[in-house]
Structure 1
Amino acid sequence: MITTLTPLFESKSIFHEVNERKANKGFRCIYCGMDEVVHFGKTTQDRQRYKCKCCDKTFTETADTPLYHCRKSEKWIDFLSCLIDGMSLRDSAKEISVHYVTLFYWRHKILTALAQINAEELNGIVEVDETYFLESQKGAIPTHRSSRKRGGSAKKRGLSTEQICVLIARDREKNTFYKVIGRGKPTKDSLELHLGNRLGTDIVLCSDALRGYKLLAKNHHIQQYVKTGEKRVKGIYHIQNINSYHSRLKRWLNRFYGISTKYLEGYIALFNYLDQLRFDDSERSIKELAVDVLMNKVSDTNNDIRLRQVEYV
Protein backbone atom coordinates (compact mmCIF):
# COMPACT_ATOMS: atom_id res chain seq x y z
CA MET A 1 0.00 0.00 0.00
CA ILE A 2 1.47 3.36 -1.03
CA THR A 3 1.44 6.08 1.57
CA THR A 4 0.98 9.55 0.11
CA LEU A 5 4.38 10.84 -0.90
CA THR A 6 3.45 14.42 -1.73
CA PRO A 7 3.77 15.74 1.85
CA LEU A 8 7.24 14.21 2.09
CA PHE A 9 8.53 16.28 -0.80
CA GLU A 10 6.10 19.15 -1.11
CA SER A 11 5.72 19.93 -4.79
CA LYS A 12 7.06 23.41 -3.95
CA SER A 13 10.51 21.97 -3.24
CA ILE A 14 10.46 20.01 -6.50
CA PHE A 15 9.52 23.07 -8.54
CA HIS A 16 12.06 25.15 -6.64
CA GLU A 17 14.79 22.77 -7.80
CA VAL A 18 13.40 22.66 -11.35
CA ASN A 19 13.24 26.46 -11.53
CA GLU A 20 16.79 26.76 -10.19
CA ARG A 21 18.10 24.35 -12.83
CA LYS A 22 16.23 26.19 -15.57
CA ALA A 23 17.62 29.49 -14.32
CA ASN A 24 21.16 28.09 -14.40
CA LYS A 25 20.63 26.97 -18.00
CA GLY A 26 19.07 30.32 -18.88
CA PHE A 27 15.33 30.56 -18.23
CA ARG A 28 13.51 31.29 -21.47
CA CYS A 29 9.99 32.23 -22.52
CA ILE A 30 8.01 29.23 -23.76
CA TYR A 31 6.46 31.38 -26.50
CA CYS A 32 9.24 33.48 -28.05
CA GLY A 33 12.32 31.79 -26.60
CA MET A 34 13.83 35.01 -25.24
CA ASP A 35 15.46 35.14 -21.81
CA GLU A 36 13.80 38.37 -20.63
CA VAL A 37 11.62 36.53 -18.10
CA VAL A 38 10.61 37.90 -14.68
CA HIS A 39 8.48 36.69 -11.77
CA PHE A 40 4.85 37.75 -12.09
CA GLY A 41 3.01 36.72 -8.94
CA LYS A 42 1.39 33.41 -8.05
CA THR A 43 -1.61 31.45 -9.30
CA THR A 44 -4.57 30.43 -7.14
CA GLN A 45 -2.83 27.06 -6.71
CA ASP A 46 0.25 28.90 -5.39
CA ARG A 47 2.25 28.17 -8.56
CA GLN A 48 4.87 30.66 -9.67
CA ARG A 49 3.81 32.78 -12.63
CA TYR A 50 6.27 34.35 -15.08
CA LYS A 51 6.06 37.15 -17.61
CA CYS A 52 8.17 37.69 -20.71
CA LYS A 53 9.24 41.32 -21.25
CA CYS A 54 9.65 40.72 -24.99
CA CYS A 55 6.30 39.23 -26.01
CA ASP A 56 4.35 40.33 -22.90
CA LYS A 57 2.90 36.85 -22.41
CA THR A 58 2.61 35.08 -19.07
CA PHE A 59 2.98 31.43 -18.15
CA THR A 60 3.25 29.28 -15.03
CA GLU A 61 5.98 26.98 -13.79
CA THR A 62 3.96 23.97 -14.99
CA ALA A 63 3.76 25.22 -18.61
CA ASP A 64 5.21 22.76 -21.14
CA THR A 65 5.54 20.06 -18.47
CA PRO A 66 3.46 16.89 -17.93
CA LEU A 67 1.68 18.75 -15.12
CA TYR A 68 0.24 21.48 -17.36
CA HIS A 69 -3.57 21.51 -17.00
CA CYS A 70 -3.27 18.52 -14.66
CA ARG A 71 -6.33 18.58 -12.38
CA LYS A 72 -5.04 16.13 -9.78
CA SER A 73 -1.41 17.16 -9.63
CA GLU A 74 -1.25 16.27 -5.93
CA LYS A 75 -1.47 12.62 -6.99
CA TRP A 76 1.30 12.87 -9.58
CA ILE A 77 4.20 12.03 -7.26
CA ASP A 78 2.32 8.96 -6.03
CA PHE A 79 1.91 7.81 -9.62
CA LEU A 80 5.68 8.07 -10.17
CA SER A 81 6.12 5.64 -7.29
CA CYS A 82 3.65 3.25 -8.95
CA LEU A 83 5.58 3.62 -12.21
CA ILE A 84 8.88 2.65 -10.60
CA ASP A 85 7.24 -0.32 -8.89
CA GLY A 86 5.93 -1.56 -12.26
CA MET A 87 2.27 -1.42 -11.30
CA SER A 88 -0.35 -1.63 -14.04
CA LEU A 89 -2.54 1.36 -14.79
CA ARG A 90 -5.60 -0.28 -13.23
CA ASP A 91 -3.72 -1.20 -10.05
CA SER A 92 -2.26 2.30 -9.90
CA ALA A 93 -5.76 3.75 -10.36
CA LYS A 94 -7.02 1.79 -7.35
CA GLU A 95 -3.98 2.81 -5.31
CA ILE A 96 -4.14 6.56 -5.86
CA SER A 97 -7.83 7.02 -6.79
CA VAL A 98 -7.30 8.44 -10.28
CA HIS A 99 -9.02 6.91 -13.32
CA TYR A 100 -6.77 4.58 -15.32
CA VAL A 101 -7.47 6.43 -18.59
CA THR A 102 -6.12 9.61 -16.99
CA LEU A 103 -3.07 7.64 -15.84
CA PHE A 104 -2.53 6.40 -19.39
CA TYR A 105 -2.01 9.97 -20.57
CA TRP A 106 0.08 10.84 -17.51
CA ARG A 107 2.33 7.88 -18.27
CA HIS A 108 2.83 8.84 -21.90
CA LYS A 109 3.63 12.46 -21.07
CA ILE A 110 6.27 11.16 -18.67
CA LEU A 111 7.62 8.86 -21.41
CA THR A 112 7.76 11.81 -23.82
CA ALA A 113 9.86 13.75 -21.29
CA LEU A 114 12.21 10.84 -20.57
CA ALA A 115 12.72 10.12 -24.28
CA GLN A 116 14.56 13.45 -24.44
CA ILE A 117 17.20 12.08 -22.05
CA ASN A 118 19.63 10.24 -24.31
CA ALA A 119 23.40 9.91 -24.33
CA GLU A 120 24.96 12.76 -26.31
CA GLU A 121 28.42 11.19 -26.45
CA LEU A 122 29.82 7.71 -25.82
CA ASN A 123 33.43 7.25 -24.75
CA GLY A 124 35.96 4.55 -23.95
CA ILE A 125 34.84 1.03 -24.78
CA VAL A 126 31.49 1.26 -26.57
CA GLU A 127 29.32 -1.78 -27.14
CA VAL A 128 26.74 -1.56 -29.89
CA ASP A 129 24.13 -4.03 -31.05
CA GLU A 130 20.58 -4.01 -32.33
CA THR A 131 17.58 -5.87 -30.98
CA TYR A 132 14.21 -6.49 -32.62
CA PHE A 133 10.54 -6.30 -31.73
CA LEU A 134 7.61 -7.52 -33.77
CA GLU A 135 5.85 -4.50 -35.27
CA SER A 136 2.66 -3.68 -33.41
CA GLN A 137 -0.20 -1.37 -34.34
CA LYS A 138 -2.04 -2.11 -31.13
CA GLY A 139 -5.21 -0.06 -30.87
CA ALA A 140 -5.35 0.70 -34.59
CA ILE A 141 -6.30 -1.08 -37.79
CA PRO A 142 -3.09 -2.21 -39.55
CA THR A 143 -2.63 -0.49 -42.90
CA HIS A 144 -0.37 -3.00 -44.67
CA ARG A 145 -1.28 -6.40 -43.17
CA SER A 146 -4.11 -8.33 -41.57
CA SER A 147 -4.64 -8.04 -37.82
CA ARG A 148 -2.91 -10.48 -35.50
CA LYS A 149 -4.74 -12.15 -32.66
CA ARG A 150 -3.24 -11.35 -29.24
CA GLY A 151 0.04 -10.22 -30.75
CA GLY A 152 0.56 -13.32 -32.87
CA SER A 153 3.84 -14.02 -34.60
CA ALA A 154 5.64 -12.97 -37.75
CA LYS A 155 4.69 -14.67 -41.01
CA LYS A 156 8.30 -14.78 -42.18
CA ARG A 157 11.13 -16.57 -40.43
CA GLY A 158 14.13 -14.68 -39.13
CA LEU A 159 14.63 -10.96 -39.66
CA SER A 160 12.24 -9.24 -42.02
CA THR A 161 10.37 -6.00 -42.45
CA GLU A 162 7.87 -7.30 -39.87
CA GLN A 163 10.53 -6.72 -37.22
CA ILE A 164 11.29 -3.29 -35.80
CA CYS A 165 14.98 -2.59 -35.20
CA VAL A 166 16.07 -0.85 -32.01
CA LEU A 167 19.68 0.34 -32.03
CA ILE A 168 21.36 0.49 -28.62
CA ALA A 169 24.91 1.63 -27.86
CA ARG A 170 26.37 1.72 -24.37
CA ASP A 171 29.76 2.54 -22.92
CA ARG A 172 31.29 1.15 -19.75
CA GLU A 173 30.14 4.21 -17.79
CA LYS A 174 26.57 3.07 -18.58
CA ASN A 175 25.86 6.04 -20.82
CA THR A 176 23.26 4.62 -23.18
CA PHE A 177 22.00 5.69 -26.58
CA TYR A 178 18.80 4.10 -27.93
CA LYS A 179 16.78 4.67 -31.08
CA VAL A 180 13.94 2.93 -32.91
CA ILE A 181 15.29 3.15 -36.45
CA GLY A 182 12.87 1.21 -38.64
CA ARG A 183 12.01 -2.16 -40.12
CA GLY A 184 14.57 -4.90 -40.72
CA LYS A 185 18.35 -4.67 -40.40
CA PRO A 186 19.96 -1.23 -40.00
CA THR A 187 21.70 0.21 -43.05
CA LYS A 188 25.09 1.91 -43.01
CA ASP A 189 23.35 5.23 -43.65
CA SER A 190 21.00 4.85 -40.67
CA LEU A 191 23.91 3.88 -38.40
CA GLU A 192 25.89 6.91 -39.52
CA LEU A 193 22.87 9.20 -39.09
CA HIS A 194 21.96 8.11 -35.57
CA LEU A 195 25.27 7.00 -34.08
CA GLY A 196 28.00 8.75 -36.04
CA ASN A 197 27.88 12.06 -34.19
CA ARG A 198 27.68 10.42 -30.75
CA LEU A 199 31.01 8.58 -30.88
CA GLY A 200 33.70 10.33 -28.86
CA THR A 201 37.41 10.36 -29.58
CA ASP A 202 39.75 7.47 -28.76
CA ILE A 203 36.98 4.92 -28.43
CA VAL A 204 36.97 1.18 -29.08
CA LEU A 205 33.83 -0.10 -30.79
CA CYS A 206 32.69 -3.62 -29.88
CA SER A 207 30.03 -5.08 -32.16
CA ASP A 208 28.91 -8.11 -34.12
CA ALA A 209 29.92 -8.70 -37.73
CA LEU A 210 27.22 -6.51 -39.32
CA ARG A 211 28.84 -4.72 -42.25
CA GLY A 212 27.36 -1.38 -41.29
CA TYR A 213 29.37 -1.31 -38.03
CA LYS A 214 32.60 -2.01 -39.91
CA LEU A 215 31.94 0.88 -42.27
CA LEU A 216 31.03 3.14 -39.33
CA ALA A 217 34.32 2.32 -37.59
CA LYS A 218 36.27 2.83 -40.81
CA ASN A 219 34.66 6.19 -41.58
CA HIS A 220 35.42 7.51 -38.09
CA HIS A 221 38.90 5.94 -37.87
CA ILE A 222 38.15 4.07 -34.68
CA GLN A 223 39.35 0.69 -33.49
CA GLN A 224 36.81 -2.13 -33.65
CA TYR A 225 36.51 -5.56 -32.07
CA VAL A 226 34.02 -7.87 -33.76
CA LYS A 227 32.25 -10.88 -32.24
CA THR A 228 32.30 -13.68 -34.78
CA GLY A 229 30.91 -17.19 -34.47
CA GLU A 230 31.25 -18.66 -30.98
CA LYS A 231 34.04 -16.29 -29.96
CA ARG A 232 32.26 -13.93 -27.59
CA VAL A 233 35.02 -12.47 -25.43
CA LYS A 234 38.47 -11.08 -26.11
CA GLY A 235 39.62 -9.81 -22.74
CA ILE A 236 37.65 -6.68 -21.91
CA TYR A 237 36.38 -6.32 -25.48
CA HIS A 238 32.97 -7.98 -25.85
CA ILE A 239 29.27 -7.19 -26.24
CA GLN A 240 27.99 -9.15 -23.27
CA ASN A 241 26.92 -6.00 -21.40
CA ILE A 242 24.74 -4.82 -24.27
CA ASN A 243 23.26 -8.31 -24.71
CA SER A 244 22.44 -8.41 -21.00
CA TYR A 245 20.80 -4.98 -21.36
CA HIS A 246 18.65 -6.33 -24.22
CA SER A 247 17.55 -9.27 -22.08
CA ARG A 248 16.59 -7.06 -19.13
CA LEU A 249 14.72 -4.69 -21.45
CA LYS A 250 12.64 -7.46 -23.04
CA ARG A 251 11.82 -9.07 -19.70
CA TRP A 252 10.69 -5.72 -18.34
CA LEU A 253 8.55 -4.95 -21.41
CA ASN A 254 6.72 -8.28 -21.10
CA ARG A 255 4.62 -6.88 -18.23
CA PHE A 256 2.82 -4.57 -20.69
CA TYR A 257 1.49 -7.46 -22.84
CA GLY A 258 2.46 -5.82 -26.10
CA ILE A 259 3.38 -2.22 -26.82
CA SER A 260 2.35 -0.28 -29.89
CA THR A 261 5.42 0.52 -31.99
CA LYS A 262 4.58 4.23 -31.91
CA TYR A 263 5.12 4.21 -28.12
CA LEU A 264 8.08 1.82 -28.05
CA GLU A 265 10.86 4.40 -27.80
CA GLY A 266 9.17 6.05 -24.82
CA TYR A 267 9.00 2.77 -22.93
CA ILE A 268 12.66 2.09 -23.71
CA ALA A 269 13.45 5.55 -22.30
CA LEU A 270 11.55 4.70 -19.11
CA PHE A 271 13.35 1.38 -18.74
CA ASN A 272 16.72 3.01 -19.37
CA TYR A 273 16.06 5.62 -16.67
CA LEU A 274 14.82 3.08 -14.12
CA ASP A 275 17.70 0.73 -14.95
CA GLN A 276 20.12 3.56 -14.11
CA LEU A 277 18.28 3.96 -10.79
CA ARG A 278 18.43 0.17 -10.29
CA PHE A 279 14.62 0.38 -9.89
CA ASP A 280 15.08 2.01 -6.52
CA ASP A 281 11.74 3.38 -5.26
CA SER A 282 13.15 5.42 -2.40
CA GLU A 283 11.98 8.99 -1.79
CA ARG A 284 15.24 10.31 -3.23
CA SER A 285 14.83 8.34 -6.49
CA ILE A 286 11.21 9.41 -6.92
CA LYS A 287 12.13 13.06 -6.41
CA GLU A 288 15.03 12.71 -8.88
CA LEU A 289 12.65 11.21 -11.45
CA ALA A 290 10.11 14.00 -10.87
CA VAL A 291 12.72 16.74 -11.37
CA ASP A 292 14.20 15.15 -14.50
CA VAL A 293 10.74 14.72 -16.04
CA LEU A 294 9.74 18.33 -15.31
CA MET A 295 12.99 19.66 -16.78
CA ASN A 296 12.00 18.49 -20.28
CA LYS A 297 9.49 20.21 -22.52
CA VAL A 298 6.24 18.28 -23.07
CA SER A 299 3.60 20.12 -25.07
CA ASP A 300 1.68 17.05 -26.34
CA THR A 301 -2.03 17.07 -25.62
CA ASN A 302 -4.03 13.90 -24.95
CA ASN A 303 -5.13 13.90 -28.59
CA ASP A 304 -1.52 14.24 -29.76
CA ILE A 305 -0.63 11.14 -27.76
CA ARG A 306 -3.65 9.12 -28.91
CA LEU A 307 -3.22 10.01 -32.59
CA ARG A 308 0.58 9.71 -32.69
CA GLN A 309 2.01 8.07 -35.80
CA VAL A 310 5.16 6.02 -36.23
CA GLU A 311 7.97 8.02 -37.80
CA TYR A 312 11.29 6.51 -38.87
CA VAL A 313 14.22 8.73 -39.78
Structure 2
Amino acid sequence: VCILVARDRTGQTLDFVTGKGALTKAQLHACLPHFIDKDILLVTDGHAAYRAFAKEAGISHQAVNLRAGIRVQGAAHVQNVNAYHSRLRAWLRPFHGVATRYLPNYLGWRWILDAKRICSPETLLKATLGAFPHLTVT
Protein backbone atom coordinates (compact mmCIF):
# COMPACT_ATOMS: atom_id res chain seq x y z
CA VAL A 1 0.00 0.00 0.00
CA CYS A 2 1.35 3.40 -0.96
CA ILE A 3 1.37 6.17 1.65
CA LEU A 4 2.02 9.67 0.35
CA VAL A 5 3.74 11.92 2.88
CA ALA A 6 4.23 15.67 2.55
CA ARG A 7 6.29 17.54 5.16
CA ASP A 8 7.59 21.04 5.40
CA ARG A 9 10.72 22.23 7.17
CA THR A 10 8.81 22.92 10.38
CA GLY A 11 7.62 19.31 10.64
CA GLN A 12 4.02 19.90 9.60
CA THR A 13 2.91 16.63 8.06
CA LEU A 14 0.20 15.44 5.72
CA ASP A 15 -0.18 11.76 4.86
CA PHE A 16 -2.55 9.95 2.55
CA VAL A 17 -3.25 6.32 1.72
CA THR A 18 -3.20 6.45 -2.08
CA GLY A 19 -3.90 2.77 -2.75
CA LYS A 20 -2.01 -0.24 -3.99
CA GLY A 21 0.66 -0.14 -6.63
CA ALA A 22 2.92 2.63 -7.82
CA LEU A 23 2.03 6.25 -7.20
CA THR A 24 0.31 8.04 -10.09
CA LYS A 25 -0.17 11.69 -10.97
CA ALA A 26 -3.95 11.17 -10.65
CA GLN A 27 -3.46 10.14 -7.01
CA LEU A 28 -1.30 13.22 -6.44
CA HIS A 29 -3.99 15.43 -7.99
CA ALA A 30 -6.57 13.83 -5.68
CA CYS A 31 -4.51 14.43 -2.53
CA LEU A 32 -2.23 17.45 -2.70
CA PRO A 33 -3.85 20.46 -4.43
CA HIS A 34 -6.19 21.14 -1.51
CA PHE A 35 -3.30 21.44 0.93
CA ILE A 36 -0.34 23.01 -0.87
CA ASP A 37 0.12 26.50 -2.26
CA LYS A 38 1.06 27.24 -5.86
CA ASP A 39 4.14 29.20 -4.75
CA ILE A 40 5.90 26.31 -3.00
CA LEU A 41 8.91 24.37 -4.21
CA LEU A 42 7.94 20.70 -4.29
CA VAL A 43 11.03 18.62 -3.51
CA THR A 44 10.67 14.91 -4.27
CA ASP A 45 12.56 11.82 -5.24
CA GLY A 46 12.85 11.20 -8.98
CA HIS A 47 9.51 9.43 -9.50
CA ALA A 48 7.93 10.53 -12.79
CA ALA A 49 4.46 11.05 -11.25
CA TYR A 50 5.75 13.98 -9.18
CA ARG A 51 7.23 15.67 -12.24
CA ALA A 52 3.98 15.27 -14.22
CA PHE A 53 1.85 16.45 -11.29
CA ALA A 54 3.98 19.54 -10.67
CA LYS A 55 3.91 20.51 -14.34
CA GLU A 56 0.12 20.14 -14.59
CA ALA A 57 -0.49 21.90 -11.25
CA GLY A 58 1.85 24.79 -12.10
CA ILE A 59 4.07 24.11 -9.08
CA SER A 60 7.86 24.52 -9.03
CA HIS A 61 9.50 21.12 -8.67
CA GLN A 62 12.98 19.87 -7.85
CA ALA A 63 13.80 16.18 -7.88
CA VAL A 64 16.61 14.75 -5.78
CA ASN A 65 18.22 11.76 -7.49
CA LEU A 66 18.48 9.26 -4.64
CA ARG A 67 19.44 6.39 -6.94
CA ALA A 68 22.57 8.27 -7.96
CA GLY A 69 23.44 8.69 -4.29
CA ILE A 70 22.54 12.38 -4.25
CA ARG A 71 20.82 13.06 -0.94
CA VAL A 72 20.98 16.87 -0.92
CA GLN A 73 20.95 19.51 -3.67
CA GLY A 74 21.62 22.85 -2.06
CA ALA A 75 18.87 23.39 0.50
CA ALA A 76 16.61 20.80 -1.15
CA HIS A 77 16.42 17.31 0.30
CA VAL A 78 13.87 14.61 1.13
CA GLN A 79 15.49 13.45 4.36
CA ASN A 80 12.65 14.89 6.45
CA VAL A 81 10.14 12.62 4.68
CA ASN A 82 12.52 9.64 4.71
CA ALA A 83 13.01 10.03 8.47
CA TYR A 84 9.23 10.18 8.97
CA HIS A 85 8.79 7.00 6.89
CA SER A 86 11.43 5.27 8.99
CA ARG A 87 9.73 6.27 12.26
CA LEU A 88 6.33 5.23 10.87
CA ARG A 89 7.59 1.78 9.80
CA ALA A 90 9.30 1.21 13.16
CA TRP A 91 6.14 2.27 15.00
CA LEU A 92 3.89 -0.02 12.91
CA ARG A 93 6.20 -3.07 13.21
CA PRO A 94 4.92 -4.24 16.64
CA PHE A 95 1.37 -4.37 15.27
CA HIS A 96 2.44 -7.20 12.89
CA GLY A 97 0.57 -5.73 9.96
CA VAL A 98 -2.28 -3.28 9.79
CA ALA A 99 -5.45 -3.82 7.76
CA THR A 100 -5.53 -1.39 4.83
CA ARG A 101 -9.05 -0.45 5.87
CA TYR A 102 -7.76 0.91 9.19
CA LEU A 103 -4.48 2.38 7.94
CA PRO A 104 -5.78 6.01 7.89
CA ASN A 105 -6.63 5.62 11.60
CA TYR A 106 -3.10 4.44 12.39
CA LEU A 107 -1.67 7.31 10.33
CA GLY A 108 -3.76 9.76 12.34
CA TRP A 109 -2.57 8.19 15.58
CA ARG A 110 1.05 8.42 14.45
CA TRP A 111 0.52 12.01 13.26
CA ILE A 112 -0.63 12.94 16.76
CA LEU A 113 2.29 11.18 18.45
CA ASP A 114 4.95 12.41 16.03
CA ALA A 115 4.32 16.09 16.66
CA LYS A 116 3.52 15.65 20.36
CA ARG A 117 0.04 17.08 19.83
CA ILE A 118 -1.41 15.40 22.93
CA CYS A 119 -0.73 17.85 25.73
CA SER A 120 -3.76 17.40 27.97
CA PRO A 121 -6.36 14.78 28.93
CA GLU A 122 -8.97 16.80 27.01
CA THR A 123 -6.89 16.63 23.82
CA LEU A 124 -6.42 12.87 24.28
CA LEU A 125 -10.18 12.39 24.66
CA LYS A 126 -10.88 14.43 21.51
CA ALA A 127 -8.31 12.41 19.58
CA THR A 128 -9.74 9.06 20.67
CA LEU A 129 -13.25 10.17 19.73
CA GLY A 130 -12.08 11.17 16.27
CA ALA A 131 -12.54 14.89 16.86
CA PHE A 132 -8.87 15.62 16.24
CA PRO A 133 -8.24 17.40 12.89
CA HIS A 134 -5.80 14.94 11.27
CA LEU A 135 -5.60 16.73 7.95
CA THR A 136 -5.65 20.27 9.27
CA VAL A 137 -2.36 22.05 8.80
CA THR A 138 -1.50 23.86 12.02
Instruction: Provide TM-score, normalisation by structure 2.
Output: 0.83
How far off is 1:292 after superposition? 4.5
Contact 1:205–1:222 (Cα < 8 Å) also in 2: yes
Report the equivalent of 1:223: 60
What is the aligned-residue RMSD (CA, Å)?
2.0
Q: Aligned to 2:8, which of 149, 171, 194?
A: 171
The size of the alignment, in residue pairs, is: 130
Report the equivalent of 2:135: none
How far off is 1:265 after superposition? 1.4
Measure the CA separation in 1 of the matches of 2:59 and 2:31: 17
How far off is 1:270 after superposition? 0.2
Report the equivalent of 2:131: 296
Query: 1:197 is paired with a residue of what secondary structure?
Result: coil
Measure the CA separation in 2 of the matches of 1:189 and 1:211: 12
Query: 1:173 is paired with a residue of what secondary structure?
Result: coil
Within 5 Å, which residues of 2 pair with 1:141-290? 164-228=1-65, 229-277=68-116, 284-290=119-125
Within 5 Å, which residues of 2 pair with 1:51-130? none
Measure the CA separation in 2 of the matches of 1:166 and 1:238: 19
How far off is 1:213 after superposition? 0.5
Aligned residue type for 2:90: R
Cα offsets for 1:113-155 (capped at 9, x unmatched): xxxxxxxxxxxxxxxxxxxxxxxxxxxxxxxxxxxxxxxxxxx
Write out the 4+ residue segments of structure 1 that deviate beyond 6 Å after TM superposition. none
Instruction: Provide TM-score, normalisation by structure 1.
Output: 0.39
Report the equivalent of 1:120: none
Aligned residue type for 2:78: I
Structure possessing the higher radius of gyration over alpha carbons: 1
Aligned residue type for 1:202: D
The alignment-based identity, stated in percent, is 37
Contact 1:187–1:212 (Cα < 8 Å) also in 2: yes
Measure the CA separation in 1 of the matches of 2:19 and 2:126: 31
Contact 1:225–1:238 (Cα < 8 Å) also in 2: no
Cα offsets for 1:32-59 (capped at 9, x unmatched): xxxxxxxxxxxxxxxxxxxxxxxxxxxx
Report the equivalent of 1:137: none
Unaligned residue ranges in structure 1 (runs of 5+): 1-163, 298-313
How far off is 1:294 after superposition? 4.6
Cα offsets for 1:225-278 (capped at 9, x unmatched): 111121110122100000000000000111212211111111111011111107
Query: 2:2 is paired with a residue of what secondary structure?
Result: strand
